[in-house]
Chain A
C-alpha cells in the first residue's frame, strides 16, 4: 500500500511556514462565522473566510443565478474547473469531474450533510431538484475547514429561505414540469420550523436526428423521437432550528424519491429504469462563544438505489443491480486559541455504512455480497495569523496547516466473483488514507478595492469505496487489491473585488493557476483479455491549468465570464502523453444581461457555453475526437409590481440545437424553452 512521500515542493512549503508559528502579535478573535453554510438542515462543516476577505477559488451562485439553469449539474458545469458529463433531459444521469479529477474527489453537501455514499463513485446531482436550492457554493480548496480526506473540492447546496412562504413553478418543453413549496414559521421556545415539498416530472420525448447506427446507409436515417426517457421525482423536507446568541441547534429530515427511465440507443421497446429513494436525518448543535467554540452532529441515511430491466429490454446492458445502503455518522469539531496569533482546530468523524444487495431474478447469481465499511477520521490544524501589526483594518494574512488521518475498515461476506478471492470467503480490507494541506492567504484593501492572493498545497489519499472493491453487478466484478488513489495539488489564486456605491457598480475577478498530479487513479476498465470490467488503479495523469471567473455589475447591465483552460496529460504507461477521456482543454460560460430602468426589477440577456473538442477515451484515436460544442441561451425575468411577491421568468436553452452525446444513451435534448413563476411572502 503506498504511503505519502511528500515531494520537494511540498517540503519547502511546509518548511517556509514553520517559522511563522512563533511570530508574536496581537490577539486574534476566533474565526467562527455565524453566516456559515449552515442552512435549513444542520451543517457538518463550518466554512468561511477571514473577515472582509474574498475567498479565492470559491464560486457562489445565488438563487437568481441558479434559476437560469435547467439543472444543478448544468449550474455546476458553468463554474471554473468543473466538468459534468450528462445524459439528455431532466433527471438524466450525470458525472462530475474537477480539474481532471473524478467526481469521487469532490465532496457534495446538502445543508451540511455529505451526500457521498460508500457505494457511489460520486453523487449524481441530476437527481436533486434545482428549485429546492437557494444557493450553490463550490470551494476549490481554500478555507480553513475543507472536506474529508481525499477530497479536492467541496460543493455546498443550501435550501435556506428567509421568506415566510415561497412557491416556485416551472414548465417547459418535452413535458417538463417542476414545483417547489416552502414555508417557515416560529413554533415557540425559540424554535423555527421550516418545511418544503417538491415534485418534478418530464417526458423527455424530444426529437433528434439518428443515422440508425448505420453510418454508410443513408436510407434509414431520419429524425426520431426519444422514447422511454421520462423522469419524475418527489420529495419533502422539514427542519427545526433554534438560533441563539451563543448557539444554534437544528434537527432535520429529508426524503427524496426519483424514477428515471433509460431509453435504448435507438427508439425501441427498452423499458429499463433507475429508482432511488433517499432518507436523510440529522441533528447538530453548535456553540460559538468562549475560548473553545465547538459543534457536534449526528446524521443517518437510508439510500436505496436500483437499476431495473425486468423485461431485459436492453440486452446485455440489462444487468440489474440494486442495493440498500444504511449509514450513520457522527462528527465533532472544536477550535482553540492557543496563542494570540495561533489557533488550533480539531475534528473527528466516525462513520459506519452497510450495503446490502437487493436481489432480482436476473442478479441472483451475481449480486454483490453484504458489505460493511467503517471509517474513523480525524484532523488537526493550526491557523496562524500573519497580519502585520498596525494594519489590521486593511490587511489580513494567515497560514494554515492541516493533517488528516483515517482508518477505513471494509468487510464483505462472501465474495461472489473472481479472481482475487474465492467465493464464499469473508473478505476484509483496511486502508489508512491520509491528507496534508497547507495554505497561505493574504488580503488587503478596503471594500472599494479588495485584493486577495492565496497559495495552497495538498496531498490527498482516498480509499476505494466498497462499490469499487466489490463491483456492483455481473458486468462489474470485484477487485480486492485496489490501492488508494492519490492526488497532489498546488494552486495559486488571486481575487480582486471592487465596488462603487456612487456608480452602483461592482466588479470582481478571480483566477487560479493549478497543477494537480493524480497517482493510481481508480477507473473502471477491463483487465487483459477479460470482457468483464472492474475498477483498476490506472495510469497516472496530471492537470496543469488556469481558471478564472469575472463579473461586473452596473446600474443597467451585468455580465459574468467563467473560463477554464487545462492541459491534461497521461504521464505513464501506454498512453503516456495522451489526454485523458472526456476532458476538454477549454471551457467557457458567459452571461450578459441588461436591466431596464424600471420601478420593478427586471433583466434580460443571453448565456453562452463553449467546450473545446475532447476524446472519449485515453487512446486519443484522431477519428474519434468529439467536435467542440457551443450553446446559446436566453433569459428574461421580471418582478410584477414594486416589491411585489410575484416573479416571472422565461428561459430558452440550447438555441444552437446541439444534440451531442456524453454517454451512449440519450443525446442532449436540443432547443428547449421554459416559463417560471415564483410567489414569495
Chain B
C-alpha cells in the first residue's frame, strides 16, 4: 500500500512539468490510482506493529539466546523472552530446526509470556533497574509486535488463565488484572488488589473461582473470577506448611487447576530464604476447599511450573549454585509424583524453567552463572529412569 502511494506521489510530481491537458490527465490518473488503493486494499489485513522478520537474530541458533527470562511453546514454535542488554526482544524458534525464525524487538526487556485465546502473545516487560514496566502484544499469525501498548507495574508478569483470559501481575503493588481479547487495558474483567506487599505469583481459574498464591502470605486467596473486584474474599490457610517462623508464609510459587483440584507448589523457604526443607505440592479439592494431600517434591525451591495434558512439570532450583535441583513431573489426574525429567547435576547448571514441547521433548532454561546468562537446552519431557530421587 505504501509503495502504491509513493508511486502516485511520484506521478503527481511529474505532472508539474507537463501541459495543462497532460497535467489534467496525469492528475486524473494519479487520483484514480489513489482511489484504487483506497477501495481495493483491505485495511483489516494489514496488522499494525513492527515486523518480527527483519532482525539480524533471524537464522541464528537457539544457543545464541543467552538471557532467557521466560519460555512458551505453541504450534511447533518455541517463544523465548530474551533480556539481552542491547537487543531485548522475543524470539520465535522453530522446534524442528532449532533456528530463530522471528525476533520481535522490545523497548523494555521482556519478563514473561502468555498466550491469549486467539493465539496472540502477551509480553510483560520490566526494565533492568525495575523502574519501568510495560506490556507488548505480538500478533503471532501476522508476525508483528506492538511495543509497550500500556505501562504496567515495574516487577510484572503474565499468566494465561484456564478461562481464556490473560492475567497481568504487578508484584510491587499486588494488583492482578485479567482481560479478554488481545488488547491489554481493554476488556478488563478482573482487577483486584491481593494485599499490600502480598506479592501475587500466579492464578488458576476453575468453576468461576480464581485461586491466587501470594508469595508473602500465609493463605491462598480465593476470589470470584466473574466479578471485576473479585467479590467476597476467601482464603485457605497454608501456614502449617511454612518453615519461616517469622512470617509463617509457605512461599507459594505457583498454582494449577485440573480436574476439580487445585495444585499449589510451596517452596517452604526459611526466614533467611534458604532452601533447606522439602518443598511440596498441596492438592486442594476445589469444591470443598479441603487439602486432600501433599506431594513431596524431589527438588527443593520450585521456581517454575508448566502444565501440559495430565502432567505438571515442576522446576526446582534448590540453592543457587548447589546443583541439587532439577525438573520433575506430577500426574495431575492421579495426583501422584511422576518421576524426574532432568537433574541439575546432569546439566552441571542451575535450572530456572522448563516447558514441554510435545513429541516427548521439552526445553529447559539453565544457567551456570546464577541467572546472569540463561540458555536453553532441548531435553526429553518424559521421566528419566535410573535417576536417584
Contact = CB atoms under 8 A, between A and B. Distances in A.
A622 B69 CA distance: 24
Contact of B191 (A215, A311, A315, A529): A215
B85 interface: yes
Interface residues of B, number: 62
Contact of A526 (B128, B132, B185): B128
24 contacts: A213-B174, A216-B185, A216-B188, A266-B173, A266-B174, A267-B196, A268-B196, A268-B197, A312-B216, A317-B197, A361-B246, A366-B273, A418-B369, A474-B273, A526-B129, A529-B69, A529-B371, A530-B372, A574-B86, A615-B132, A617-B131, A622-B148, A623-B148, A624-B132
Interface in B77-115: 83-88, 107-108
Contacts of A220: 193, 229
A524 B67 CA distance: 18
B371 A531 contact: yes
Interface in A175-232: 212-217, 219-220
B272 A315 contact: no
B361 interface: no
A316 B215 contact: yes
Interface string A497-528: 00000000000000000000000000111111
A671 to B, nearest CB: 25
**Size bracket, chain A contacts:** 35 or more
B289 to A, nearest CB: 25
B66 interface: yes
Given A265-B196, A529-B374, A621-B134, A217 B229 contact: yes
Interface in B352-380: 352, 367, 369-374
B170 interface: yes
Given A214-B177, A214-B192, A362-B271, A264 B132 contact: no
Q: Which 10 A-B pairs have the closest CB atoms?
A: A268-B196, A213-B173, A315-B216, A617-B132, A530-B371, A217-B191, A213-B175, A617-B131, A216-B188, A315-B197
Given A213-B174, A531-B371, A621-B108, A311 B247 contact: yes
Contacts of B228: 216-217, 219
A213 B200 CA distance: 13
Given A213-B175, A216-B228, 19 more contacts: A213-B174, A214-B192, A220-B229, A265-B197, A311-B246, A315-B216, A317-B197, A418-B320, A474-B273, A524-B129, A527-B128, A528-B85, A528-B373, A533-B130, A581-B131, A617-B108, A621-B107, A624-B134, A664-B172
A623 B134 contact: yes
Nearest to A213: B173
B28 to A, nearest CB: 41
Given A217-B191, A529-B371, A624-B134, A316 B246 contact: no
A264 B371 contact: no
A169 interface: no
Most buried by A among B86, B131, B373: B131
Nearest to A219: B229
A314 B217 CA distance: 11
Nearest to A316: B199
Contacts of B273: 362, 365-366, 474
Interface of A: 212-217, 219-220, 264-270, 310-317, 361-366, 418-419, 474, 523-533, 573-574, 581, 615-624, 664
Contact of B170 (A213, A264, A364, A524): A213
B197 A581 contact: no
B229 A624 contact: no
Nearest to B229: A219
A257 to B, nearest CB: 26
A313 B197 contact: yes
Given A419-B370, A617-B131, A266 B193 contact: yes
Most buried by B among A310, A618, A623, A624: A624
B323 to A, nearest CB: 13
B85 A617 contact: no
A616 B131 contact: yes
A366 B271 CA distance: 12
Contact of A574 (B87, B274, B369): B87
B370 A532 contact: yes
Nearest to B374: A529
A265 B170 CA distance: 12
Most buried by B among A214, A530, A573: A214
A311 to B, nearest CB: 7
Nearest to A620: B107
Nearest to A217: B191
B88 A361 contact: no
B372 A419 contact: yes
Nearest to B176: A214
B163 to A, nearest CB: 17
A315 B198 contact: yes
Most buried by A among B170, B177, B271: B271
A537 to B, nearest CB: 12
A314 B195 CA distance: 11
Contact of A363 (B83, B88, B272): B272
B128 A525 contact: yes
A616 B127 CA distance: 10
B297 interface: no
Contacts of B320: 418
Contacts of A620: 107
A216 B177 contact: yes
B164 interface: no
B272 A366 contact: yes
Contacts of A532: 370-371
Contact of A270 (B148, B196, B370): B196
A532 B321 CA distance: 14
A578 to B, nearest CB: 10
